[in-house]
A and B are shown apart, each in its own frame.
Chain A
Amino acid sequence: KNEVEQSPQNLTAQEGEFITINCSYSVGISALHWLQQHPGGGIVSLFMLSSGKKKHGRLIATINIQEKHSSLHITASHPRDSAVYICAVRSGGSQGNLIFGKGTKLSVKP
Chain B
Amino acid sequence: NAGVMQNPRHLVRRRGQEARLRCSPMKGHSHVYWYRQLPEEGLKFMVYLQKENIIDESGMPKERFSAEFPKEGPSILRIQQVVRGDSAAYFCASSSGFGEKLFFGSGTQLSVL
Contacts and interface: CB of A to CB of B under 8 A. Distances in A.
Interface of A: 31, 33, 35, 40-45, 48, 86, 88, 93-103
Interface in B61-97: 89, 91, 93, 95
Chain B CB within 10 Å, residue with most, of A95, A98, A102: A95
A95 B13 CA distance: 31
A61 B16 CA distance: 45
B101 A45 contact: yes
B109 A96 contact: no
B29 to A, nearest CB: 12
B42 A96 contact: no
Given A94-B55, A100-B42, A41 B107 contact: yes
A98 B42 contact: no
B107 A96 contact: no
A45 B41 contact: no
18 contacts: A33-B102, A40-B106, A41-B107, A42-B107, A43-B104, A45-B101, A45-B103, A48-B102, A93-B58, A94-B48, A94-B55, A95-B48, A95-B95, A96-B31, A98-B35, A100-B43, A100-B44, A103-B42
Contact of B33 (A31, A96, A99): A96
Given A43-B91, A43-B104, A102 B99 contact: no
A45 B99 contact: no
Chain A CB within 10 Å, residue with most, of B35, B42, B99, B109: B42
A25 to B, nearest CB: 13
A35 B95 CA distance: 15
Nearest to A41: B107
